[in-house]
Amino acid sequence: MPPEMPLLATVEVGGHDALQDGCRSTCTKDIECKDTSMSCDMDNGVFGDCDVIEYKAQCNNNDASEVTQPIQCTEEQAYCDFSKGKRGECSSCPDFENQCFFSDLNQEGAMECNEVCAAGSLDRLESPPCKFCVRGNFALTNISDGFLSTEDGKNITTPCEFCGSTSNTSKCSSKHKWGMDHPHRTIKMWGGPVECWQVAEFYRGVNIEADTDYCKSARTMNYICGCEDTSGYGGANSEAKRMALAWIPRVGAILSMLGSTLMIVEVLRDKEKRKKVIGELIISLSAFDIIGSLGYAFTSYPTPEEDYIYGARGNGVSCSIQGFFIQIGTISLYLNVSIAFYYLLIIQCSWREHRLKKSWVYYMLFAVPVLIGSIFAFAGIPFYDNNILWCNNSRSYWSEIPVAIAIAIATIIIVNLCWFVYKSERASRRFRHDSENRNALSLAFFKQSLVYLGAFYLTWPPYLAMQILISRGVIYSQYYLILFSGLAVTLQGFWNYLFHTALTRVIKNRVVRAVETVRNAGSMAFTSRRLARSKASTDDREKYGEKHSKESGSDDEQAS
């Protein structure tokens, strides 16, 4: 090749619309595009890409010094993008007002878009109070040119990238320039759908560190775009992990429904137990657990398809139905608290079954859990959304508050009962002569309380902790913690059957002895005190009789 012949190369240097399946034709000031329907965009100063010619009305601001006459956009719902400094092209307003932030505009263009399309009302993006929403607090003044913003930020060491490239593959490949497979998929952000390439442009234009919550929360969504460096939703960065998130909790939910069904059958087959309050509470608890487990069993299936979760085939309606079933299932949690109150009344307050059933307390044991659970289930209908494992209430904290309160109340009651039994045992020791089994009854009741708390704590605290940490934004990608917590909460019926039925049989006799001892401790002490007083009285009478006999004998001697 002669040295005077120019060497031309085709490289991809275009914007977000760069072709995904091939390279683009470049052009310079001297080398025009071969296709007459295309023009050189000159985006890179001395060269650019050949793009299809799109004619737009020109505009400028009123202070433009290089023009003699101001030109404004005359079409309705059109704004000047100021893409050429004080000049620009007229663009139509976006469908959603928040897209003024995501229309690949500079600061002047974004502010003009907001002024014309949103009447100046949307000059800031703030995170809504939900668990999996992208976090941030951005103003239109934060938007700047992506290349310049990171250079000007003196305190920025590692700028935020929505998608980071992990390979050195050529830009002339099937991979998009932003390192994503699906640049035109949409993500729900700040009240409206935003395309993946727009999100990448936005975070390229704001000046934030990569290790901030703002950046991390945004990157939890980059799995939707097929980014090269995505960690996946919930840390599920492989097909096997995503499959496990969908199927392992599903198996747990099926086991839970089986356990709850067996508990109901067992209570109904026991003539004595089904007539007692505890039997009615267990049946109610198991029934609501079956409802909740049914919601859990579908896992990601009712999740909207546009969330791109493994196994998602649903929509907004199916998501809300699943969330409602799951929230109704939490009534079983509150019925656990009722069972704790039942033990308190029977053991510490010495109530009998017939007295309890005639009291208003009996009705409260059932009405309060159902009322609280129903209120939160219906109140959450507008907020049911994708929560990775399934659809549930997406609002931060307030749906977890009653769960935390229920766990605290049940714990306090059980600890108080253990302490009560321990003190009663100590008080009755001096009336017993069997020193070998002195602590056996207290230990038996303590074991029974652990059986009760074991089923309770294996189910709810791990899941509650996960929800709180998600609300705080600190476990975006903790895969194994999310998987364990999701499995634990779906196994409630299984744990209830295992702990309340199988293990209870092993220590049943010891617990019965403990309860009877607590009830009889007071009567034993009372009887012993009566015997002691009776013996003392008998001894006094005997002493008085002996003294009286001696005095009588002395008088007879004197008389004789």
d(CA 446, CA 223): 49
DSSP state of 47: E
Nearest alpha-carbon partner for 518 in 339, 347, 340: 347
The pTM assigned to this predicted structure is: 0.74
Neighbours of 539 (CB within 10 A): 10
Element (H, E) at 94: none
What pLDDT score was predicted for residue 371? Answer: 96
- Residues in the chain, how many? 560
End-to-end alpha carbon distance in the chain: 167
Neighbours of 299 (CB within 10 A): 28
CB of 139 closer than 8 Å to CB of 227: no
Q: Which amino acid appears at position 268 of this protein?
A: L
DSSP state of 348: I
CB of 353 closer than 8 Å to CB of 292: no
Q: E strands, 462-521, where?
A: none
- Helix/strand/coil (H, E, C) string of 244-307? HHHHHHHHHHHHHHHHHHHHHHHHHHCHHHHHCHHHHHHHHHHHHHHHHHHHHHCCCCCCEHHH
d(CA 321, CA 155): 47
d(CA 88, CA 57): 9
Rounded-to-10 torsion of CA 194, 197, 202, 203 = 110
What pLDDT score was predicted for residue 176? Answer: 55
> CA–CA distance from 514 to each of 422, 437, 510, 521, 527 (Å)?
10, 12, 6, 10, 19
Q: What is the CA radius of gyration of the chain?
A: 38
Largest CA distance in the chain: 169
What pLDDT score was predicted for residue 150? Answer: 40
Nearest alpha-carbon partner for 373 in 341, 338, 335, 339: 335
Q: Which two tokens stand for residue 236?
A: 């599920």
CB of 357 closer than 8 Å to CB of 306: no
Neighbours of 535 (CB within 10 A): 10
Rounded-to-10 torsion of CA 286, 291, 294, 300 = -130
Write phi, then psi, for 72 (nearest 5 degrees). Answer: -110, 160
SS3 content of the chain, % helix, strand, coil (to 5): 55, 10, 35
d(CA 549, CA 540): 14
Segment 238-242 long-range contacts (CB within 8 Å, at least 24 positions apart): 239/310, 241/479, 242/309, 242/310
d(CA 460, CA 228): 36
Q: E strands, 6-157, where?
A: 26-28, 38-40, 47-52, 58-60, 78-80, 87-92, 124-126, 137-139
Positions of the chain with pLDDT under 50: 8-22, 146-153, 169-174, 434-436, 438, 522, 525-526, 555-560
Q: Which domains does the chain have, with CATH numbers?
A: 1-55 (no CATH), 56-233 (no CATH), 234-520 (1.20.1070.10)
d(CA 401, CA 396): 10
DSSP state of 465: H
Segment 339-345 long-range contacts (CB within 8 Å, at least 24 positions apart): 339/278, 339/281, 339/282, 339/285, 339/452, 340/409, 340/410, 340/413, 340/414, 340/452, 341/365, 341/413, 342/277, 342/278, 342/281, 343/413, 343/414, 343/417, 343/452, 344/413, 344/416, 344/417
* Beta bridge partners of residue 188, listed in sequence order: 193
